[in-house]
Copies of this chain bind each other. A is one copy, B any other.
Amino acid sequence: MNDNLEEYVSQVARQAKEASRALVTTTGGRKNGWLQLSAERIRSQASTLLAENERDIAKAPEFGLTNAQVDRLRLTPERLEGIAKALEEVAQLPDPIGEIIDSNPRPNGLLVTKVRVPLGVVFFIYESRPNVTVDAAALCVKSGNAVILRGGKEAFHSNMAFYRLLSETLVECGLPEHAVQLVETTDRAAVGAFLKCHNSIDVAIPRGGKSLIERVTQEATMPVIKHFDGVCHVYIDRSADLQMARDILVNSKCHRTGVCNAAESFLVHEEIADEFLKLAGPALLEQGVEIRSDDRVRSVIPEALVATEDDYRTEYLDLKISAKVVDSIEDAIAHINEYGSHHTDVIVTSNFNSARQFTGEVDSAAVLVNASTRFNDGGEFGLGAEIGISTDKFHARGPCGLKELTSYKYVAYGDGQTR
């Protein structure tokens, strides 16, 4: 069985590599045609897809899924329509491949250009929600990459149903059949085997819990686009519009709590701390937020609990927030760079110099002035769909859309130049 697994993995990887070669020169029109046909098929094959999803739902108790997890797993006609629409939206995005990113006519007449090309083969490992199968396939193929999808066992039948649909439409549209492959075994060892295929696979992208990401980072022999914690801050500067600051803070914390770009901590300048806390404290408490803070905050919001050192490093993903009064913008920046996770941090201010200093010195993937942390998102930033959010600095940082799935090559045109 182990021999069989290795053979299976290397076959899938090899097929992906071959497909990726053909995808390099596939026109945008053909790729978009596939996205549109796939959207139509999702609508026309809704009953099959829902029936397969029902098999996963029926098995959910075996896997010990919580109600919230079962809800994320469930497909409905509305959700299928959303998935089909998402495909159509990816079709609308400009084709990144072939774009001339930069050019340099040299004094000797050589025209040097830098042309966007696909990375090659993406190995995408994810958990539960079956819509991710379709989203990831769409983004990878649109950016000219072949993709090997490894979904969670809880969603196996739903994923297989989507995979069969996408394989059929690929062939019908004249795209390489193996442009999209789903790993058909739930054997955990398969992931390890794929992570060794650095000759065929150009990048691994894990999307899921921390232990999955840690495992992939540990075992991968190819580059990984990874996403760790989102310990995001809202800093309310001395010169902030306090009503605006309250609204941004409440939105950053409460709009959705289980997401990486939700605020987990806020800092307030001591000069306006009393006034702001009197305004923001009740607003947070009203939303059911538990505040964990230093004594200076607690002197104004007696309901706040005592924060430990650990609280300031914690991603609650819940209706909880840590809070602290700082003496200066410098203190705020130092705290954020030290305790934060370099994900998303916000300053609320009316002062130009504060905005300039904060955006310059805070070392995070996204730094916002006078807006909610919740805007750090591929859609909100205008990238179109995103395959994930990177907490790395290398290759891709922040929301990863089509361009982050690409590389480039130099193409130079001459008329006989020699050195």
Interface positions, chain A 242-273, Cβ under 8 Å from B, are 244, 247-248, 251, 255
A280: min CB distance to chain B, Å: 14
> Is the pair B418, A365 in contact by a Cβ cutoff of 8 Å?
no
> Is the pair B393, A407 in contact by a Cβ cutoff of 8 Å?
yes
A412 within 8 A of B: yes
> Is the pair B25, A394 in contact by a Cβ cutoff of 8 Å?
no
> Is the pair B371, A417 in contact by a Cβ cutoff of 8 Å?
yes
Interface of A is mostly: mixed
Stretch from A73-81, A83-91, A171-179, A375-383 that touches the partner: A375-383
> Is the pair B382, A106 in contact by a Cβ cutoff of 8 Å?
yes
> Is the pair A393, B202 in contact by a Cβ cutoff of 8 Å?
yes
Question: By the criterion of a CB under 8 Å from any partner CB, how many residues of chain A are at the interface?
Answer: 61
> Is the pair B368, A416 in contact by a Cβ cutoff of 8 Å?
no
* Residues of B close to A382: CB separation below 8 A: 104, 106, 112
* Residues of B close to A393: CB separation below 8 A: 117, 119-120, 202, 407
Please judge, given known A-B contacts A367-B411, A394-B223, whether A372 and B419 are in contact too, CB under 8 Å.
yes
Interface positions, chain A 299-341, Cβ under 8 Å from B, are 337
* Residues of B close to A72: CB separation below 8 A: none
Q: Which of B119, B120, B394, B414 contacts A368 (CB 8 A)?
A: B414
Please judge, given known A-B contacts A119-B393, A381-B410, A410-B398, whether A247 and B416 are in contact too, CB under 8 Å.
yes
* Residues of B close to A363: CB separation below 8 A: 21, 24, 117, 409
